[in-house]
Structure 1
């Protein structure tokens, strides 16, 4: 699985420079690979996208695209920092 994350935005008009990350889960240690695959599976991302997020316009935004094998089309979603659980933010920060 390939996970591409582009973060942008910020609080109260203070814009952070856009950052991009490309994570190949096959290149990660087994424990990290399992955590990434569970957190970034398309169903989990779709569920997070449905989570209401009052006050989110002033938060960081994450454009996430997940690509699996050739049989699966890429899945893209844009989420606000407030829609991501702390464990997922920690995963993003750790890679």
Structure 2
């Protein structure tokens, strides 16, 4: 699972906040409220996220509708698991112990 960039995270935040599959237009409109961003940029990011398996898409007429392929938590767990893959058991335990110690308990 690849680590997502800032724009990819912003796109995913929009999708995670929506209960139903969402067209590019709606994602673009929401992102454009806080930044200047081209419609084609949002379309490209969603296409790349679909190719990475981070979002699922379905064709509705002529428009693609996008939804998260997994929850925010599942995406982060997969990313962390992949990052830890090349480490020994001892190194994994050390990393996870340091993360647990650095994380505030809510």
Fold-level similarity (TM above 0.5)? no
Q: Which of the two has greater strand per residue?
A: 1
Q: Which of the two has greater helix per residue?
A: 2
Find the structure with the greater CA-based Rg.
Answer: 2
Q: Normalising by the residue count of structure 1, what TM-score does the alignment of the two structures yield?
A: 0.31
Q: Normalising by the residue count of structure 2, what TM-score does the alignment of the two structures yield?
A: 0.29
The higher-RCO structure (CA 8 Å, 6+ apart) is 1
